[in-house]
C-alpha cells in the first residue's frame, strides 16, 4: 500500500502548493489593486485616519478637519470641513466619509492623507521620531477675491459659470459654478449626510447643483466663438487687417441653400470690416468667413485653441466640441458658435487668454504646488505652453478688435477705468427650434498700461428667469466679467 | 526520524527498531516554541490595540502552557513513541487561533453585530475540553486496531451525525445557506466535524476487508481496470450520500470532503488508478448536476467567479431570492491590504468581513495582519501536519492503521484546501472552518481527537517490536570465537 500512499502525499503537497501560489497571487501580485480599490473601505478609513491636509488659496486654507462624532462603531476618526464650501466646491470637489471624494480632494488624496509615496521617507522619519502622521497641503493658483466676485455675480443671476485664467501662465484664478453645493453637508457618514447627498443628486434636484459647470458643462458659445473665426481668417490670410472691407452681401444666404442667415436687429453688416462686424456681432460676416475658409481650416484653428480635447487642470474638463463633418452651410453656423459647436467656460477663457497673451495659449492649471506636512514643496507646477493659435501680429490685430467691442460696441459694461479691456459678447440660442431661453456669454481680458495682461475670463449665465429680450451677453455676463477682472487687478496692487 | 538513523546499541543486533528514540524531548522543546510564539502574539495584539500588555496575558500564557504540558505528559505516558511534530504543530495553530479570536473580540463593529466579544474565553474552554478528549483517546484507545471492531457501528454513527442537521427542531440555520449546524441545549454543534473521523474509521474497516475484491476482480479496458458492477456499489452509495448532503444541507465543502476522503482511501486500499478516475468523474458529474439547479450553490459559484459583482449586489440590497454576500470580496480585500508583510497584529480592518470573521474567514485576518509571509507559514504548518500524518500511514504496520491514518490526513488536507482556497478565492466558498484556528467548539474538539488518533497510530508504528523471546536453541547456534 505504500506506493499509493506516497502519491497521496504528493497530491496533498500539491494542494498546499496550490494554496501557496494563490496566496502569492492575491497578496503579492494583486495586492496593490485590492488595497487601493475604492470600494475597499480601508481606503476611506485610511483617508480619515489622520488630520487631512488643506487645500490652500492665497496662503489661507479653504478647508479644515474636525473629529468625527463618536457614534460607537464609526471607524473614521476625522471629518473634512470647508470654509465657504459652496463657493469653492468647483475647485475642491468633496471628500465624504460615505460618498468617496472628487476633483482635487480625490486627485491629490495621497498628499492630503499623507499616504503618497513621495511622502514615504518623511513618514518613516516621523514614525521614528514619534511625530503623529499628518497630511500635506495642496496649494492652488486661485485668487480668493476673483472667486468671490465670480460667485457673488453668478448668485445674483441664477445659473451659470465663470472661469478666469492668468493668460501669461495658464494659472486658473477663478472657477465658479451656480447653483453650487456645500460639501460640508455630506462630509460625514450619518443619516443627515446621506439625506443631504441625496437631495443634491440630479434626479432630486433638476438644477443639478453638483455639476461643475465651469469645467464639465458644454454650452453653445454663440457669438463669442466669432473671436476664433476672426483668428482663423487672419491666420489663413483671408483678411490681413481689421479694417479691410469684407465682401459680405446683405441679406446673406447660407451657401447652397435658400436660408437667410440673419443678424440681430438692423446693424451695419453689409461689406463690414471685421472690426465693425465684431463690434456689432454680425452673423453674416463671420458665417461667410467660415464658409469661405472651409470646415478643415476652421477646425484646425479651433483645435489649436483647445477644442475637441479634454484639459487636465489636473481636474478634468470636458472636451469642447467643434464639429468634424459639416457642409458649407453648417460650417457657417458653426463659425458663429451655433450648430453643434459647444464649449466649456474654461475653453472660452482659454480663447480670450490666448489672444491676450499675444497668441500663445498656456496650459490651464489650478495646482501651484504640493506641500509636505512640514510645508516643504514636493512638486511645483511650471507653466507650460499648449499651442500657438495665432501669431503675435495677428493676436494684436484681434486685440484691437476686441477692445473696440468694449469701448464702443456690445460690451461697454465691461469697461474698467484706467485699464484696457477687450471682450466679446455672445447670446447663444439652444433648444429645439431655439425655443429655450438663450445663454448669455461674455469673454474678455484686461490689459494693464505696461502691456501685460493679468487676467482673461469667460462668463456664461443660463438665466431661465430673465425675459428673452433682456438676455444678452453684454447685459448679464459682462458686469460679472468686469468684477472678476477688477478683483484680480486690485489684488495685484 | 526513522529508525535507521539510530545506531544499534551493539553490533550483533539484527532488529533495527530496538532502541528507537522516543523523541519526547524534541516534542517538549518544540512545544515551548508553540506556546511562547502565541504568547508574544497576544502581547503584540494588546500593545497594538490598547497600547498596553493585555491584562490576561499571564493567565492566557499559563493556560496554554498548562494545556500543552498536560497533553505532552499524556503523550509521554500513553504514547511514548508518537510522532514528535503533531502535538506542537496543533498547539501552535490552536494558540495563534486563540490570539486572533481574542483580537477580533476587541472589534467594536463585530461586538455590535454579535459576531465577537467573548469568543476567546469560550474557545479557550473548548480547547481545554478538546485536550481532555485528546488525553481520553490516548488513555482509552491503547491500540487503534480496536476501532476495526466498530466498522459498521461507525457507518451508522456517521450517517446519523450527517443527517442530524436535517432533523426538524434540531437543525439550526446559523450560517447563510448551509445547514450544517445543530443546536442542543444552547450549544451549536457542527456534527460534520465529528462525522469526518467516524467515517474514516468506517471506510478503513470496510476497505480493509473488501480491498482484494475491489482491486482484483476487474476487467481491463483501455488501460484501465474497470471494477465489477457489484463492487461499484459502495462508491455509488458514498457518492449518493455526498450529493444528498450537497442538496439538502447545501454544503459543498462537507460533501467534497467525504467523497474525496473515500476516493483517497479507496485508491490506497486497492492501488488501482481507475478508482481515482471514477471518483473524479463522479464528483464532477455531481457538482455540475447540483450546481445547475441549486440556487445556493450557484450563488457561491457566481461569487467566486465575480466577487466584485456580488459585493455590489449585496451593497445595493438586491432582493432576488438568494442571499448576495459581500464576504468573498471583503476577504480578498483583507488579503490584498495585508500585502507581503501585513499590517501587524491588531492593526488591520478584517472586522469588515463582519459575518463569520472569526470562524470561516479567520484566515483573512491572518492574511491582513501577518501578510503573505504569515499565511504561507500557516499553510506550511498545515502541510506539515498532513505530511506527518501520511508519514504515520507509511510507517504503520497494519493495513487498517495505514488506511485510517491516510484517511484522516487526507480529509484534513482537503478541509484545509477547501476552506483556505475558498477564502482566498481559489475555489468557491464553502461553510467549513479552518482546523484549530477558527472559533468553534466542534471543530477544535474534533480536530484534537483526529490528532490523538494519528498520535496513537504513529506510536504503534514506531514502537519497538517486542524483544524476541529467548530461543531454546540459543546455546547451539552460539558463535564460536577463536
Q: How confident is the model at residue A391 (pLDDT cuts 50, 70, 90)?
A: very high
Among partner residues A16, A23, A39, which is closest to B372 by beta-carbon distance?
Answer: A23
For residue A273, the cross-strand partners are A245
B268 and A23 in contact by Cβ < 8 A? no
What's the whole-number mean pLDDT along residues A470-479? 73
- DSSP three-state, residue A391: coil
Question: Given CB atoms, is B136 within the 8 Å cutoff of chain A?
Answer: no
Contact A476, A470 (CB under 8 A): yes
d(CA A156, CA A107): 32
B387 and A4 in contact by Cβ < 8 A? no
Considering Cα of A171, then A176, then A177, then A183, what sign does the dihedral take?
positive
Nearest CA in chain A to B330: A40
d(CA A260, CA A262): 6
Q: Tell me the per-residue pLDDT of A125-174, one tens digit each, with 9 for 90 and over.
A: 877 887 777 888 999 999 999 999 999 988 888 889 999 999 999 999 99
Rounded to a whole number, what is the distance in angstroms from the first to the last CA of chain B? 39
Question: Given CB atoms, is B212 within the 8 Å cutoff of chain A?
Answer: no
- DSSP three-state, residue A297: helix
Beta strand pairing status for A100-101 and A137-140?
Answer: unpaired
Q: Tell me the per-residue pLDDT of B45-64, one tens digit each, with 9 for 90 and over.
A: 999 888 888 888 998 999 99
CB pairs below 8 Å between A and B: how many?
139
Active site residue A223: yes
Which grid cell is A325? 463633418
Q: How confident is the model at residue A176 (pLDDT cuts 50, 70, 90)?
A: very high
Distance of CA A38 to the CA centre of its chain: 25
For residue A177, the cross-strand partners are A161
B409 and A45 in contact by Cβ < 8 A? no
Q: What is the pLDDT of residue A267?
A: 81
The label of the residue with cell 540459543 reads B474
Q: Tell me the per-residue pLDDT of A12-44, one tens digit each, with 9 for 90 and over.
A: 999 999 999 999 999 999 999 998 888 888 888
Question: Given CB atoms, is B402 within the 8 Å cutoff of chain A?
Answer: yes
Which grid cell is B89? 504543530
Instruction: Determine phi and psi for B467, rounding to 5 degrees.
Output: -55, 140
Percentage of residues in chain A with pLDDT exceeding 90?
34
| A266 φ/ψ sector (left φ>0, alpha ψ -120 to 50, else beta) | beta
Taking the CA of residue B184 and the nearest CA in chain A, the distance in Å comes to: 33
B413 and A15 in contact by Cβ < 8 A? yes
R_g of chain B computed on alpha carbons: 24
Among partner residues A13, A18, A26, which is closest to B425 by beta-carbon distance?
Answer: A26
- Cα distances (angstroms) measured from residue A324 to each of A294, A305, A339, A365: 11, 15, 12, 27
Question: Given CB atoms, is B387 within the 8 Å cutoff of chain A?
Answer: yes
Nearest Cα residue to A140 out of A174, A167, A177, A184: A174
Question: Given CB atoms, is B383 within the 8 Å cutoff of chain A?
Answer: yes
Q: Maximum Cα–Cα distance for chain B, whole Å?
A: 96
Instruction: Determine phi and psi for A378, rounding to 5 degrees.
Output: -90, -40
Contact A326, A306 (CB under 8 A): no
For residue A79, the cross-strand partners are A66
Nearest CA in chain A to B350: A42
- DSSP three-state, residue A348: helix
For testing the chain A interface, which of B337, B363, B389, B419 should be mutated: the one with the most A CBs within 10 Å? B337
Q: What is the pLDDT of residue B217?
A: 66
Nearest CA in chain A to B425: A22
Catalytic residue among A68, A184, A223, A353: A223
d(CA A381, CA A370): 9
Residues B60-80, buried b or exposed e (16+ Cβ, 10 A)? bbebbbebbeebbebbeebbe
Taking the CA of residue A365 and the nearest CA in chain B, the distance in Å comes to: 34
Say how many C-beta atoms besides its own lie within 10 A of residue B464's C-beta.
Answer: 14
Question: Given CB atoms, is A375 within the 8 Å cutoff of chain B?
Answer: no
Q: Tell me the per-residue pLDDT of A283-297, one tens digit each, with 9 for 90 and over.
A: 888 988 998 888 899
B109 and A75 in contact by Cβ < 8 A? yes
Instruction: Determine phi and psi for A79, rounding to 5 degrees.
Output: -125, 150
Which residues, including other chains, have CB under 8 Å from residue B473's CB and lie 6 or more apart? none
A254 pLDDT above the threshold of 70 = yes
Helical spans, DSSP H, in A363-477 = 392-408
Residues in chain A, total: 493
Highest mean pLDDT among A68-77, A105-114, A247-256 belongs to A105-114
Q: What is the pLDDT of residue A445?
A: 93
Q: What is the pLDDT of residue B1?
A: 42
B425 and A22 in contact by Cβ < 8 A? yes
d(CA B419, CA B305): 16
pTM of the model: 0.73
Tell me the angle at which helices B399-423 and A2-24 cross, rounded to the nearest 10 degrees: 10
Q: What is the pLDDT of residue B12?
A: 45
Average pLDDT, chain A: 87
A265 pLDDT above the threshold of 80 = no
Q: Tell me the per-residue pLDDT of A110-130, one tens digit each, with 9 for 90 and over.
A: 888 887 888 888 878 877 887
Chain B residues close to A30, C-beta within 8 Å: 332, 336
A26 and B267 in contact by Cβ < 8 A? no
Low-confidence ranges of chain B (pLDDT < 50): 1-17, 174-176
Question: Given CB atoms, is A16 within the 8 Å cutoff of chain B?
Answer: yes
d(CA B137, CA A296): 91
For testing the chain B interface, which of A10, A14, A24, A27 should be mutated: the one with the most B CBs within 10 Å? A27
A208 pLDDT above the threshold of 90 = no
Cα atoms in the 13 Å half-sphere on the side-chain side of B116: 27
A468 pLDDT above the threshold of 60 = no
Instruction: Determine phi and psi for A356, rounding to 5 degrees.
Output: -65, -35
A24 and B380 in contact by Cβ < 8 A? no
Nearest Cα residue to B358 out of B126, B179, B105: B105
A365 pLDDT above the threshold of 90 = yes
B406 and A8 in contact by Cβ < 8 A? yes
Nearest CA in chain B to A41: B352
Which grid cell is A300? 484646425
Nearest Cα residue to A330 out of A283, A278, A282, A287: A287
Q: What is the pLDDT of residue B278?
A: 79
| More confident of the two residues A247 and B144 | B144
Q: Which of residues 59-98 of A touch B (CB under 8 A)?
A: 72-73, 75
d(CA A389, CA B247): 72
Amino acid at each position: 500500500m505504500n506506493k499509493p500512499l506516497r502519491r497521496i502525499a504528493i497530491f496533498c503537497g500539491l494542494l498546499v502548493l496550490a494554496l501557496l501560489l494563490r496566496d502569492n497571487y492575491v497578496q503579492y501580485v494583486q495586492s496593490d489593486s485590492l488595497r487601493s480599490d475604492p470600494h475597499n473601505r480601508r481606503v476611506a478609513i485610511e483617508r480619515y485616519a489622520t488630520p487631512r491636509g488643506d487645500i490652500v488659496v492665497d496662503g489661507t486654507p479653504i478647508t479644515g478637519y474636525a473629529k468625527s462624532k463618536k457614534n460607537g462603531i464609526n471607524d473614521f476618526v476625522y471629518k473634512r470641513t470647508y470654509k465657504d464650501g459652496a463657493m469653492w466646491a468647483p475647485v475642491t470637489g468633496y471628500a465624504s466619509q460615505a460618498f468617496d471624494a472628487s476633483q482635487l480632494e480625490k486627485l491629490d488624496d495621497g498628499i492630503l492623507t499623507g499616504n503618497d509615496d513621495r511622502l514615504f521617507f518623511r513618514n518613516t522619519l516621523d514614525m521614528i521620531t514619534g511625530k503623529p502622521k499628518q497630511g500635506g497641503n495642496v496649494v492652488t493658483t486661485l485668487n480668493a477675491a476673483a472667486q468671490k466676485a465670480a460667485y457673488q455675480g453668478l448668485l445674483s443671476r441664477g445659473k451659470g459659470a465663470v472661469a478666469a485664467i492668468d493668460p501669461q501662465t495658464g494659472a486658473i484664478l477663478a472657477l465658479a459654478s451656480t447653483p453650487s453645493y456645500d460639501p460640508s453637508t455630506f462630509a460625514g457618514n450619518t443619516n443627515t449626510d446621506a439625506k443631504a447627498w441625496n437631495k443634491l443628486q440630479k434626479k432630486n434636484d433638476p438644477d443639478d447643483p453638483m455639476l461643475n459647470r465651469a469645467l464639465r458643462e458644454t454650452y453653445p458659445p454663440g457669438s463669442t466663438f466669432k473671436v476664433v473665426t476672426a483668428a482663423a481668417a487672419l491666420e489663413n490670410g483671408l483678411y490681413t487687417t481689421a479694417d479691410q472691407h469684407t465682401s459680405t452681401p446683405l441679406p446673406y444666404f447660407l451657401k447652397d441653400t435658400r436660408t437667410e442667415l440673419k443678424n440681430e436687429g438692423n446693424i451695419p453688416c453689409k461689406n463690414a470690416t471685421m472690426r465693425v462686424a465684431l463690434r456689432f456681432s454680425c452673423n453674416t460676416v463671420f458665417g461667410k468667413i467660415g464658409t469661405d475658409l472651409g470646415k478643415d481650416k476652421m477646425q484646425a484653428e479651433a483645435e489649436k485653441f483647445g477644442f475637441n480635447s479634454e484639459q487636465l487642470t489636473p481636474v478634468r474638463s470636458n472636451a469642447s466640441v467643434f464639429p468634424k463633418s459639416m457642409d458649407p452651410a453648417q460650417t457657417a453656423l458653426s463659425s458663429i458658435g451655433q450648430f453643434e459647436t459647444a464649449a466649456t467656460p474654461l475653453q472660452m477663457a482659454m480663447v480670450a487668454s490666448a489672444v491676450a497673451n499675444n497668441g500663445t495659449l498656456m496650459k490651464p492649471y489650478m495646482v501651484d504646488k504640493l506641500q509636505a506636512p512640514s510645508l516643504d514643496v514636493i512638486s511645483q507646477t511650471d507653466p507650460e505652453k499648449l499651442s500657438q493659435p495665432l501669431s503675435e501680429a495677428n493676436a494684436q490685430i484681434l486685440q484691437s478688435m476686441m477692445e473696440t467691442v468694449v469701448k464702443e460696441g456690445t460690451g461697454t459694461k465691461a469697461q474698467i477705468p484706467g485699464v484696457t479691456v477687450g471682450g466679446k459678447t455672445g447670446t447663444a440660442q439652444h433648444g429645439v427650434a431655439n425655443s429655450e431661453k438663450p445663454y448669455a456669454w461674455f469673454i474678455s481680458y484686461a490689459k494693464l498700461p505696461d502691456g501685460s495682461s493679468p487676467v482673461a475670463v469667460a462668463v456664461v449665465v443660463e438665466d431661465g428667469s430673465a425675459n428673452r429680450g433682456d438676455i444678452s451677453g453684454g447685459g448679464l455676463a459682462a458686469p460679472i466679467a468686469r468684477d472678476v477682472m477688477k478683483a484680480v487687478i486690485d489684488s495685484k496692487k | 526520524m526513522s529508525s535507521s538513523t539510530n545506531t544499534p546499541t551493539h553490533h550483533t543486533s539484527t532488529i533495527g527498531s530496538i532502541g528507537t528514540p522516543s523523541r519526547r524531548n524534541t516534542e517538549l522543546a518544540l512545544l515551548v516554541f508553540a506556546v511562547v510564539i502565541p504568547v508574544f502574539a497576544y502581547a503584540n495584539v494588546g500593545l497594538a490595540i490598547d497600547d498596553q500588555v493585555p491584562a490576561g496575558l499571564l493567565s492566557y500564557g499559563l493556560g496554554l502552557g498548562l494545556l500543552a504540558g498536560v497533553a505532552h505528559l499524556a503523550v509521554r505516558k500513553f504514547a511514548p513513541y508518537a510522532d514528535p511534530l503533531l502535538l506542537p504543530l496543533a498547539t501552535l495553530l490552536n494558540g495563534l487561533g486563540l490570539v486572533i479570536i481574542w483580537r477580533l473580540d476587541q472589534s467594536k463593529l463585530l461586538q455590535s453585530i454579535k459576531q465577537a466579544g467573548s469568543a476567546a474565553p469560550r474557545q479557550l474552554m473548548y480547547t481545554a475540553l478538546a485536550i481532555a478528549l485528546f488525553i481520553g483517546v490516548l488513555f482509552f484507545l491503547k491500540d487503534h486496531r480496536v476501532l476495526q471492531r466498530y466498522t459498521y457501528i461507525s457507518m451508522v454513527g456517521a450517517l446519523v451525525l450527517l443527517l442530524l442537521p436535517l432533523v426538524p427542531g434540531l437543525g439550526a440555520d446559523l450560517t447563510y445557506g448551509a445547514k450544517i449546524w445543530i443546536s442542543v441545549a444552547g450549544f451549536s454543534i457542527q456534527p460534520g466535524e465529528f462525522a469526518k473521523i467516524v467515517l474514516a474509521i468506517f471506510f478503513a474497516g470496510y476497505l480493509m476487508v473488501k480491498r482484494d475484491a475491489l482491486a482484483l476482480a476487474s476487467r481491463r479496458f483501455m488501460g484501465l481496470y474497470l471494477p465489477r458492477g457489484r463492487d461499484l456499489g459502495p462508491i455509488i452509495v458514498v457518492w449518493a450520500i455526498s450529493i444528498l448532503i450537497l442538496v439538502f444541507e447545501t454544503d459543498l465543502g462537507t460533501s467534497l470532503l467525504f467523497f474525496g476522503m473515500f476516493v483517497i482511501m479507496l485508491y490506497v486500499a486497492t492501488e488501482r488508478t481507475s478508482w481515482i478516475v471514477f471518483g473524479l468523474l463522479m464528483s464532477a458529474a455531481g457538482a455540475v448536476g447540483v450546481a445547475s439547479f441549486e440556487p445556493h450553490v450557484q450563488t457561491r459559484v457566481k461569487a467566486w467567479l465575480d466577487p466584485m459583482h456580488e459585493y455590489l449586489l449585496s451593497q445595493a440590497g438586491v432582493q432576488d431570492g438568494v442571499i448576495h454576500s459581500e464576504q468573498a470580496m471583503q476577504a480578498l480585500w483583507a488579503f490584498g491590504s495585508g500585502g507581503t508583510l501585513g499590517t501587524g497584529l491588531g492593526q488591520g480592518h478584517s472586522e469588515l468581513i463582519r459575518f463569520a470573521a472569526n470562524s470561516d474567514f479567520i484566515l483573512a485576518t491572518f492574511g491582513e495582519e501577518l501578510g503573505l509571509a504569515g499565511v504561507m507559514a500557516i499553510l506550511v504548518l498545515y502541510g506539515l501536519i498532513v505530511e506527518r500524518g501520511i508519514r504515520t500511514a507509511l510507517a504503520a504496520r497494519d493495513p487498517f492503521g495505514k488506511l485510517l491514518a491516510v484517511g484522516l490526513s487526507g480529509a484534513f488536507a482537503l478541509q484545509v484546501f477547501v476552506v483556505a482556497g475558498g477564502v482566498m478565492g481559489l475555489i468557491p466558498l464553502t461553510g467549513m472552518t479552518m482546523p484549530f484556528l477558527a472559533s468553534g467548539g466542534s471543530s477544535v474538539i474534533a480536530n484534537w481527537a483526529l490528532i490523538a488518533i494519528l498520535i496513537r497510530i504513529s506510536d504503534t508504528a514506531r514502537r519497538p517490536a517486542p524483544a524476541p523471546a529467548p530461543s531454546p536453541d540459543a546455546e547451539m547456534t552460539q558463535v564460536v570465537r577463536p
